[in-house]
Amino acid sequence: MIATLAEMESAKVPIDARDFCAHMLLNLRGCIREHFPFNHHCHHEREEYYECQYHDYLDRMKDYEREKRLLERRHKLRKQGAPNADEGTLVA
C-alpha cells in the first residue's frame, strides 16, 4: 500500500476502500475534483483503479485456493498417519 494512513484520513477515504489500491483511488478522486463536471477526462485513472481492484481480487482468490489445497493436503496426510503432517510436506 503506497498511500499512508494520514493521507487516507485527510482525503476521507472510507475504511472499506483503504486497501491495496487506495493510492489509485486518491488519484482518481483528485482527477474528478480537478476536472469536475467533466469527469470523462478521468477515464484513464478510473480504469487503472478498477484494474488494480481486479488484480487484488485475483491475488486474494489465489491465496484462498492455495490455503484450501494445503489444508486438504494436511488433512489427507493426517488421515494416512504421516509423521510430518503438520508441516504439509511429504517424506521422500
Q: What is the pLDDT of residue 1?
A: 59
Nine-digit cell string for 64: 484462498
Confidence of residue 73 (pLDDT cuts 50, 70, 90): very high
Share of the chain residues as helix, strand and coil, in percent rounded to the nearest 5:
70, 0, 30
Q: What is the pLDDT of residue 10?
A: 85
What confidence tens digit (pLDDT) does each residue in 11-70 have? 888 888 888 899 999 999 999 999 999 989 999 999 999 999 999 999 999 999 999 999
70-76: list long-range contacts, CB under 8 Å, 24+ apart: none
The answer to whether residues 3 and 23 touch, using CB atoms and an 8 Å cutoff, is: yes
Give the start-to-end residue ranges of the domains of the chain. Answer: 5-80
Give the H/E segment covering residue 80.
Answer: helix 43-80
